[in-house]
Amino acid sequence: MRIAIVTGASSGIGREFVNQIPGFYKHLDEIWVTARRGERLEEVKQEVEGRTGVYVRIFAGDLEKDLVYKQILNRLENQSPDIRMLVNAAGFGKIGSSAHIAKEDAAVQLRMIDVNCRSLTRMTFLVLPYMSKGSRILNISSGASFCPQPGFTVYAATKAYVTSFSRGLYEEMKEEGIVVTAVCPGPVDTEFFDVSGTTHSKIKESVMVPACDVVRTALLDSRMKKPLSVHGALMKGARIAGKLVPEEILFSAMDKWIR
Q: pLDDT value at position 192?
A: 67
Q: pLDDT value at position 110?
A: 93
C-alpha radius of gyration, the chain, whole number: 18
- Nearest of 55, 63, 73, 4 to residue 37 by alpha carbon: 63
Q: Describe the chain by its helix, strand, coil percentages, rounded to 5.
A: 55, 15, 25
Q: Are 196 and 92 in contact (CB under 8 A)?
A: yes
**Residue 40 Cα distances to 48, 59, 85, angstroms:** 12, 12, 22
With H, G, I as helix, E, B as strand and everything else as coil, classify residue 181: strand
Q: Are 123 and 68 in contact (CB under 8 A)?
A: no
User: Which residue type sits at 120?
Assistant: L
Per-residue pLDDT of the chain (259 residues; tens, 9 = 90+): 999 999 999 999 999 999 999 999 989 999 999 999 999 999 999 999 999 999 999 999 999 999 999 999 999 999 999 999 999 999 999 887 776 676 667 888 999 999 999 999 999 999 999 999 999 999 999 998 998 888 889 999 999 999 999 999 999 999 999 999 999 998 887 766 666 555 445 555 557 789 999 999 999 999 999 999 998 666 665 555 556 555 555 555 555 555 5
- Stated as kind and residue range, the H or E segment containing 256 is helix 247-258
Q: Are 257 and 203 in contact (CB under 8 A)?
A: yes
Strands (E) in 36-130, as ranges, are 55-60, 82-88
Q: Measure CA 27 to chain center.
A: 24
Task: Please identify every residue annotated as catalytic.
Answer: 155
Q: pLDDT value at position 209?
A: 87
- Nearest of 115, 104, 146, 182 to residue 257 by alpha carbon: 146
Q: Please, what are the domains in the chain?
A: 2-258 (3.40.50.720)
- Neighbouring residues of 79: CB distance < 8 A, sequence distance ≥ 6: 1
> For the whole prediction, is pTM greater than 0.75?
yes
- Nearest of 52, 71, 92 to residue 5 by alpha carbon: 71
Q: Are 190 and 11 in contact (CB under 8 A)?
A: yes
- Nearest of 14, 30, 34, 33 to residue 22 by alpha carbon: 30
